[in-house]
Amino acid sequence: MPYSLSASSRMLLAGLLAIALLFQIAFAVTHLIGHGYAHNGRFTQVQENWGDTAWFFRQANDWSPYNHHWWYWLAVSEHNLGNTEASIAALDQCLKIAPVFVSGLNLASDIMVATDNGSVALQLTDRAERLVPDAWEPAYAKGAVAFTSGFYSDAMDNLFIADQRSTEPKRHVLGLLSQAAFESGSLELATNAIDRAVAAGKESAWYWMLRGEIHGARGDTDISRDSYERAILLYAAEDSTQVDSKYHQATLHARLGYLYASQSEIVQSIGSFYNASGFYADLVTYSELLLQIHQELPATLLSQTFEMQLQWATVLSAAQLWNDAIEVFARLDSADGNWTPLARYSYGMVLRKSGEPKLALVQFRALSSSDLIPAKAYAETLYEAGQPAAARFEYAKIPTLFNLSETERDEIELRIEELSRP
């Protein structure tokens, strides 16, 4: 008689099989859901929609936390969103699952470079290079570490190797190579690299700006000017509230002003320097050039239009040529309705620096609208005019009127505290 299980044993075995089947179904379902989120994440990643990409890969990892590729793409997304800690945490999970995952090692190295952890970056780079000796990424990482450490020649050598190893132009490699070569005095290599960088992929205002600087150093004035103008357009298309964008636009306009002056195109030069001062730029670097222009400026040119005189006086003020600026401003009727807010601010600064804070207040109060810098100047001028309580009140208004950075907020609070002391 063949052996058979007892009824209770058969019931137990059936139960165990049913539980195993349920576990298998649950695992398959969670894995399938995770793959669905990951698929959507890859789709948004191609579109460089990093916020959605990060969300999709977070969901994927919640459902199935064992896929190192998903952790990697979460890290990439967080890195592009500027969330360094979240990116490092995701990479930590990625490399725990796959310690020899080269892309993860390379990204971790890039993040360490960006956070000034050069020694850690080099350790990660060495691990990646042992795995893939001929890859471009480790050479790029070594070049980036050398560049941030100020060893521009070493950076240039490693970045050149990275460029040679890459099968297609990598814009960030070429951009950093051009900077390293420029700092090392290798203008030909810098020119070749930056020309290829601006031609590779999506346009970058920073690379066009760098191209203008490099070609300017070579004496290629027309190319330099065209590059600066292109960079200005690209920066202007960005978020106008970004401080870095405003700084770069001011720098570009000032460099254009210098180029125009070098070609004796004085009207265009004045216009460019005026555009730079519109960002409240400090033009002290160009004060010697601007003083020379002022001394040689034909009176007939300056007196052509009221607008030209306003612009030139504003530029002189931005260069802190106070005596020359007040001379031009004094010729103009400050009650004229054609005065721009920038011109009034500049005249107020000239009067303030000339020891006339009460007259400066007249100009500041006439401003139809105000930015952060004029608001701070007005508050400080009140203090210089012997009105500390009014100055404290104006300073106290600033945090409610403007979106301040933490540093700016601390500066305002410190000044209010100073003004509150007896």
- Average pLDDT, integer, range 14-42: 69
- Burial of residue 125 (number of CB atoms within 10 Å: 0-12, 13-18, 19+): buried
Q: Is 58 left (phi over 0), alpha (psi -120 to 50) or beta?
A: alpha
Q: What percent of the chain has pLDDT over 90?
A: 39
Q: What is the rounded average pLDDT of the residues 101-117?
A: 81
* Confidence label for 1 from pLDDT (cuts 50, 70 and 90): very low
What confidence tier does 4 reach under pLDDT thresholds 50, 70, 90?
low
Q: How confident is the model at residue 20 (pLDDT cuts 50, 70, 90)?
A: low
Buried b (16+ CB within 10 A) or exposed e, 260-271: bbeeeebebbbb
pLDDT bracket for residue 243 (50, 70, 90): low
Can you tell me the distance from the alpha carbon of 273 to that of 253, in angstroms, rounded to the nearest whole number?
6
Higher pLDDT, 326 or 370: 326
Burial label for 243, CB within 10 Å (0-12, 13-18, 19+), is: exposed
Closest CA to 41 of 29, 54, 30: 54
Percentage of residues in the chain with pLDDT exceeding 70? 89
Backbone angles phi, psi at 11, to 5 degrees: -65, -40
User: In which band, very low, low, confident or very high, does the pLDDT at 333 lie, cut at 50, 70 and 90?
Assistant: confident
Q: How confident is the model at residue 84 (pLDDT cuts 50, 70, 90)?
A: confident
> How far is 378 from 252, CA to CA, in rounded Å?
28
The predicted-structure confidence for 379-409, as pLDDT tens digits, reads as follows 999 999 999 999 999 999 999 888 888 888 9
Predicted confidence (pLDDT) per residue in 136-160, tens digit: 888 888 888 888 888 999 999 999 9
Lowest average pLDDT, out of 61-75, 299-313, 356-370, goes to: 299-313
CA 277 to CA 280: how far, in whole Å? 5
pLDDT at 7 over 70: no
| 213 has a pLDDT exceeding 70 | yes
- Quick: pLDDT tens for 170-184: 898 999 999 999 999
pLDDT band at 163 (very low <50, low <70, confident <90, very high): very high
pLDDT for residue 215 is more than 90: yes
Q: pTM here?
A: 0.74
Which range (172-181, 210-219, 270-279, 296-305) has the least confidence?
A: 296-305
Predicted confidence band of residue 23 (pLDDT cuts 50, 70, 90): low
With 0-12 / 13-18 / 19 or more C-beta atoms within 10 angstroms meaning exposed / middle / buried, residue 237 is exposed
**Complete DSSP assignment for 26-89:** HHHHHHHHHHHHHHHHHHHHHTT-HHHHHHHHHHHHHH-TT-HHHHHHHHHHHHHTT-HHHHHH
The rounded distance, in Å, linking the Cα atoms of 278 and 246 is: 10
The Cα–Cα gap between 241 and 408 comes to 15
* Residue 283 DSSP symbol: -
pLDDT value for 242: 60
What's the whole-number average pLDDT of the chain? 86
What confidence tens digit (pLDDT) does each residue in 69-78 have?
888 888 889 8
Q: Kindly give the interhelix angle for 287-296 and 243-262, rounded to the nearest 10 degrees.
A: 40
- How far is 268 from 168, CA to CA, in rounded Å? 40
